[in-house]
Amino acid sequence: MTDDVLIRTEGKVGRITLNRPQALHALNTGMCRAMTEALLGWKDDPAVELVLLDHSGERGFCAGGDIRMLADSGAGDGREACEFFFIEYRLNHLLFEYPKPVVTIMDGVTMGGGVGLAAPSRYRVATERTTYAMPETGIGLFPDVGGGWFLSRMPGHIGLWLALTGARVKAADCELIGMATDFIESSRIADFKAALIADPAAVETLLTQFEGDAGRPPLAQHQDEIDRLFGGESVEAILSALQAADTDWARDQLKVMATKSPQTLKVAYRQLKLGTEAKTFADNMVMEYRIGARVVRKHDFIEGVRAVIVDKDNAPKWSPATVSGVSEALLDEIFAPLPSAQEWSPLTGV
């Protein structure tokens, strides 16, 4: 176990609290191992009826994974990065298939690896402080932790828009896209947790009792535009449609996408296309592990982390520098099966 995540039972509730506030609760391998062990221990324990997943402090639920470690590992043999992905993806899959209700409190920043914990949970509670995003295109990674599955199943082409632009959305939009099942004001979250621990069987009733109004989703006014402009058969087609649209909103999307890794834009597009076709969540995670094992060692990820996280000059030099320069052969290499002994697999019996 690790102090970075607090694990205990309270009444009939198994409780997992992310406890790495100085890093916005970014996940590391030890945290993923500890959560997996706890969930496996509670899975068939009749004394545990429900799992509550939250965070300590006020700074947000989870900003993602330990990006610096991934980049350091990717600059070498990539072994530590692959170990992290392997264990994290098993945790994502375990949550997706978990037989007992999981309630995740997405109070504050919920990005990347944090989405990987929240999205598979049965109940996903947003507050007015929730900020959801999959920002990986900005650092040359890709929208993993099940992004191929969840993003591709959002209404219309919103998931692809989120993947390509890294756009940040708030609680009302989280409800619109299906990321949040419920909205509770942050001032009432402590009371909701206490009531849930007192009577976990009443989770549905309590969610109704504590439900607040997230307001109108700002994204709704752009849904038709997203569906029309992000429905192209390639990233190039989407960029052409945005240029032809010649609206303020379309121009804003072009400016944002121009800052992203061209390699990652094309990886994310293919990932979501294949994710749509995946028959099971496990099939999707096999695909994503193949991508992760490869892109973590490629130039764009190392350079993206340097520019955004280490040097903070926000001036990455992508290679290839343009979308047209990213060949189908490069994508085929990134998505190709790994040697059988290196492929990802779910936990036995899950």
Q: Can you tell me the distance from the alpha carbon of 56 to that of 176, in angstroms, rounded to the nearest whole number?
A: 27
Q: Can you tell me the distance from the alpha carbon of 120 to that of 104, in angstroms, rounded to the nearest whole number?
A: 9
Nearest to 51 by CA among 90, 3, 16: 16
Active-site residue, selected from the candidate residues 66, 144, 175, 303? 144
Q: Can you tell me the distance from the alpha carbon of 161 to that of 52, in angstroms, rounded to the nearest whole number?
A: 30
| Contact predicate 89/117, CB 8 Å | no
DSSP-derived 3-state class of residue 348: coil
Nearest to 49 by CA among 102, 3, 96, 116: 102
Q: Is 156 considered catalytic here?
A: no
Q: Can you tell me the distance from the alpha carbon of 217 to that of 158, in angstroms, rounded to the nearest whole number?
A: 13
The two three-digit tokens of residue 248, written as one number: 């303020």
Active-site residue, selected from the candidate residues 54, 88, 136, 300? 136
The two three-digit tokens of residue 251, written as one number: 């121009």
Q: Is 65 considered catalytic here?
A: yes
CB count within 10 Å of CB 241 equals 16
Active-site residue, selected from the candidate residues 14, 60, 64, 65? 65
Active-site residue, selected from the candidate residues 113, 159, 275, 292? 113
Which residues are catalytically annotated? 65, 113, 136, 144
